[in-house]
């Protein structure tokens, strides 16, 4: 498609933004990618030009969760980037869209369950259809993907009408033709020019969204670009109407990488090769912004020759004091499907630094009845759960006590080494666990869930093997 490098060839053009920008730029250059639209700080730091070429793929941290790295762009480029990231950052979770964002599709309507959205299907993927007036089971509709569904529990969303995407713009059919411009295009003169260029197409009943890269192109280039998109849209609409259910234009792949503490540490090391960086830099920046200035100050001290080991100890002490000051702290684990689960709040019974890590003991009181998952032991009001967390360990140990003090069972969670957040300890839950009840041998549970995650590409082979090794060692203990 002439309107963009959607089929791709040659060097990947990468745009990088956010709190991981320095480390990711160093990696991108090492991978042989071309960094485009670099910020002034990054361009100066690396001595590279601020190329205004449109990007094939963008890397940035998520606004909603800075521990997540978002990778979005043409599929061929995203695949190359992900291949390199999985090699360099193997201890994180990887999710990718099941349908291409902004793609034209033909979907078959399945209908609507009681109280639910209208459901349509594209190539075996269930999606929500925004236009419910066409929710007739068996009907086939031409639509476009407006939400891709990245994590396993997220359902893609479709809107009626064909859509095509290029380097500078997105052109699509819609009931209310309009022109929108990326918020990153800030010059009013350019925004006015873009609106004028799009008028011809809104008069044809089409909507235009100008992408951020449009600010760097001249009017004639943009005019040709829109015409190419228009021809591609007509062709896509015609092919989709003639054909059966499926995907008819490339769109973009969206991937989300939930970074682990180990991979953030790797990014710390990479960043340190460019500018003085202390350990836990990216962990603090993403999870504990209230002490971000402590990191900035420590890095100024490192640049002046202060021992990095002393700076790490001081930072750990600060993190420990931050947790100790809370009335209660949370234990949060990120599941393989991307859901964030809070185990509950508890009181910090002790916290201390040892060999470059924090050891935290948290106690929770049980107020309800039920059964402890995995253990099968009875849950009763007055029970105590004592959790031992070591930020340098792959294991989190929960011991369940009755009101009278006898042990009901031990549950050892296998996870990536925990990180300290503002009022929580956070880790990636690897699903496989070890449980032990009094008088019984320890048991390994949920290994099949980790295996499924490997098969679906959520975890790498390296993370899979490491998790099993830690679990089997805990089983032996």
Q: In what order do the strands lie in the sheet with 179-181?
A: 163-165, 169-173, 206-210, 179-181
Confidence (pLDDT) at 2: 46
Rounded distance between C-alpha atoms, residue 408 and residue 374, angstroms: 12
pLDDT at 374: 84
- The three-state secondary structure class of 66 is coil
d(CA 430, CA 417): 11
pLDDT for residue 8 = 61
Distance (Å, rounded) from C-alpha 477 to C-alpha 471? 10
SS3 letters for 105-126? EEEEEEECCCCCCCEEEECCEE
Average pLDDT per consecutive 10 residues, the chain (477 residues; last block may be shorter): 62 97 98 97 96 97 97 97 98 97 97 83 94 90 96 95 97 95 96 97 96 96 97 97 96 98 98 98 98 97 97 97 94 96 93 95 94 89 96 97 94 97 97 93 93 97 97 86
Q: What is the pLDDT of residue 344?
A: 85
- Tell me the pairing of strands 57-61 and 68-73: antiparallel
Give residue 114's pLDDT. 65
pLDDT at 9: 66
**Residue 360, burial from CB neighbour count under 10 angstroms (0-12, 13-18, 19+):** buried
């Amino acid at each position: 498609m002439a309107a963009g490098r959607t089929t791709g060839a040659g060097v990947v053009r990468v745009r990088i933004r956010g709190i991981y920008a320095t480390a990711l730029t160093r990696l991108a250059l090492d991978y042989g990618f071309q960094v485009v639209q670099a910020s002034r700080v990054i361009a100066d730091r690396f001595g590279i030009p601020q190329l205004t070429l449109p990007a094939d793929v963008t890397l940035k941290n998520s606004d909603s969760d800075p521990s997540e790295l978002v990778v979005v762009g043409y599929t061929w480029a995203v695949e190359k980037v992900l291949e390199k990231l999985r090699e360099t950052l193997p201890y994180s979770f990887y999710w990718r869209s099941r349908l291409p964002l902004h793609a034209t599709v033909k979907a078959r309507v399945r209908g609507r369950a009681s109280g639910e959205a209208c459901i349509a299907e594209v190539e075996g993927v269930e999606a929500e259809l925004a236009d419910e007036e066409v929710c007739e089971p068996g009907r086939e509709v031409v639509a476009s993907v407006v939400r891709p569904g990245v994590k396993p529990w997220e359902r893609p969303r479709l809107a009626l009408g064909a859509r095509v995407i290029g380097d500078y713009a997105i052109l699509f059919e819609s009931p209310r033709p309009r022109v929108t411009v990326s918020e990153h295009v800030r010059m009013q003169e350019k925004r006015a020019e873009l609106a004028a260029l799009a008028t011809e197409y809104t008069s044809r009943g089409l909507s235009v969204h100008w992408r951020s890269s449009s600010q760097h192109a001249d009017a004639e280039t943009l005019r040709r670009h829109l015409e190419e998109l228009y021809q591609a849209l007509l062709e896509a609409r015609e092919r989709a109407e003639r054909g059966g259910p499926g995907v008819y234009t490339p769109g973009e792949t969206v991937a989300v990488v939930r970074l682990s503490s180990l991979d953030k540490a790797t990014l710390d090391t990479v960043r340190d090769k460019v500018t003085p960086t202390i350990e836990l830099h990216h962990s603090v920046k993403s999870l504990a912004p209230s002490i971000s200035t402590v990191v900035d100050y420590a890095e100024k001290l490192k640049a002046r020759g202060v021992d990095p080991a002393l700076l790490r100890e001081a930072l750990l002490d600060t993190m420990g004091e931050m947790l100790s000051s809370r009335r209660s702290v949370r234990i949060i684990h990120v599941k393989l499907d991307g859901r964030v689960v809070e185990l509950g709040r508890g009181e910090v019974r002790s916290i201390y630094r040892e060999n470059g890590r924090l050891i935290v003991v948290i106690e929770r009181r049980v107020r309800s009845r039920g059964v402890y998952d995995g253990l099968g032991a009875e849950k009763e009001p007055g029970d105590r759960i004592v959790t031992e967390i070591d930020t340098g360990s792959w294991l989190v140990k929960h011991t369940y006590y009755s009101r009278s003090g006898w042990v009901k069972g031990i549950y050892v969670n296998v996870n990536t080494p925990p990180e300290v957040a503002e009022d929580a300890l956070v880790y990636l839950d690897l699903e496989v666990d070890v449980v032990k009840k009094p008088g019984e041998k320890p048991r390994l549970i949920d290994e099949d869930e980790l295996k499924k995650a490997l098969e679906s590409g959520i975890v790498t082979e390296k993370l899979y093997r490491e998790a099993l090794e830690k679990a089997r060692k805990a089983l032996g203990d």
